[in-house]
């Protein structure tokens, strides 16, 4: 099984005492980029990428790491020659800004890279997950809102729309103006309560996309009895404690 993707920079990892995890993940990022480059070369016929190229990469490395490598590679790309929706999806992955990220920048023909990106995005769309296009402006208070969790904050076996939707309840991170990060929320899918960081969410769901299965749970959480609960105060700035947090 591939090393779990580590989402923080080397500097943050050092501060957390997790430098060994960062190093293992970084080495996996470098190997993933190299493997994708080799797959593109070996799966190209007459200038066209074979249909199973991206699927093979995803089977080897999983969505979070493949998306991270693509995001790192396409950071600042103008979009010329790339599917705009696929490019936007790739660039939503959060890449720590550090010199070491250059080591897993994918080197490939731009036309073939565009085909690989499109294949990967089509595989992602088949999962029917929520994305940035389902969110309204992110710079708002999260309390009392339906929030969309970034998929890369979940273990890949937990990737589903049901696990992405959370009801923001309290925590200093609910406010976009606060220095605090904690957001205490309840999963609309299974009722799990967890502490996340504000940056773990893409933003607030545009409720025109709210699925029927979530309506009853949302009504319960927004009931007057629930709203009278005491707010939870942020205890620390550590990582999320949800059971579905990425390993």
**Which tokens belong to 55?**
């699927």
Q: Provide the β-strand partners of residue 182.
A: 197
pLDDT at 163 over 70: yes
The residues, any chain, with a CB within 8 Å of residue 62's CB and separated by 6 or more, are 2, 5, 156
Give the tens place of pLDDT for each residue, 60-110: 999 989 999 999 999 877 778 899 989 988 887 877 767 888 899 998 999
Give the residue among 162, 159, 161, 178 at the shortest CA–CA distance from 170.
178
Return the exposure string of 155-182: e unless at least 16 CB atoms fall within 10 Å of the residue's CB, then b: bbebbebebbbbbbbbbbbbeeeeebbb
214 and 195 Cβ atoms separated by less than 8 Å: no
CB 129 within 8 A of CB 143: no
List of E strands, 118-181: 146-149, 165-170
Tens of pLDDT, residues 172-217: 999 998 888 899 999 999 999 999 999 899 899 998 999 999 998 9
Per the CB < 8 A criterion, the answer to whether 169 and 184 are in contact is yes
The per-residue pLDDT for range 6-28, each reduced to its tens digit, is: 888 899 899 999 999 999 999 99
pLDDT for position 20: 95
Counting Cα atoms < 13 Å in the Cβ hemisphere of 207 gives: 8
Q: Which strand (E) or helix (H) includes residue 48?
A: strand 48-49
Confidence (pLDDT) at 179: 87
Q: Which residue has the higher pLDDT, 244 or 47?
A: 47
Confidence of residue 1 (pLDDT cuts 50, 70, 90): low
Measured between alpha carbons, how far is 60 from 39 in angstroms, rounded to an integer? 11
How many Cβ atoms from other residues are within 10 Å of residue 224's Cβ?
A: 6
Mean pLDDT of 132-159: 88
| CA–CA dist 80, 59 (Å, integer) | 28
At residue 139, the pLDDT reads 84
pTM comes to: 0.74
Quick check: 2 pLDDT over 90? no
Cα separation, 245 vs 134, whole angstroms: 22
Q: Phi/psi at 164 (nearest 5 deg)?
A: -90, -25
Query: What confidence category does residue 154 fall into, taking pLDDT thresholds of 50, 70 and 90?
Result: confident
**Which residues contact residue 41 at a Cβ distance below 8 angstroms, ignoring those fewer than 6 apart?**
none
What is the sign, positive or negative, of the torsion defined by CA atoms of 102, 58, 135, 150? negative
> What's the Cα-to-Cα distance from 66 to each of 55, 62, 119, rounded to whole Å?
11, 6, 12
């Amino acid at each position: 099984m591939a090393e779990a993707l580590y989402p923080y920079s080397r500097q943050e990892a050092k501060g957390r005492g997790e430098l060994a995890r960062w190093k293992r993940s970084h080495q996996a990022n470098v190997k993933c980029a190299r493997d994708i480059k080799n797959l593109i070369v070996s799966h190209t016929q007459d200038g066209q990428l074979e249909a199973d190229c991206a699927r093979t990469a995803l089977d080897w490395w999983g969505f979070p790491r493949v998306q991270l490598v693509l995001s790192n590679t396409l950071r600042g790309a103008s979009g010329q020659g790339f599917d705009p929706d696929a490019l936007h999806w790739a660039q939503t992955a959060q890449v720590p800004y550090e010199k070491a990220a250059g080591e897993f920048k994918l080197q490939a023909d731009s036309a073939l890279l565009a085909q690989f990106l499109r294949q990967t995005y089509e595989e992602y769309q088949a999962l029917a997950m929520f994305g940035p296009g389902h969110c309204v402006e992110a710079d708002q208070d999260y309390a009392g809102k339906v929030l969309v969790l970034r998929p890369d904050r979940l273990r890949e076996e937990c990737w589903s729309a049901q696990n992405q939707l959370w009801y923001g309840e309290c925590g200093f991170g609910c406010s976009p103006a606060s220095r605090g990060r904690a957001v205490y929320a309840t999963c609309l899918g299974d009722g799990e309560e967890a502490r996340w960081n504000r940056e773990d969410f893409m933003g607030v769901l545009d409720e025109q996309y709210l699925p029927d299965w979530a309506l009853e749970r949302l009504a319960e959480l927004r009931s007057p009895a629930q709203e009278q609960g005491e707010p939870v105060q942020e205890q620390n700035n550590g990582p999320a404690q949800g059971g579905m947090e990425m390993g």
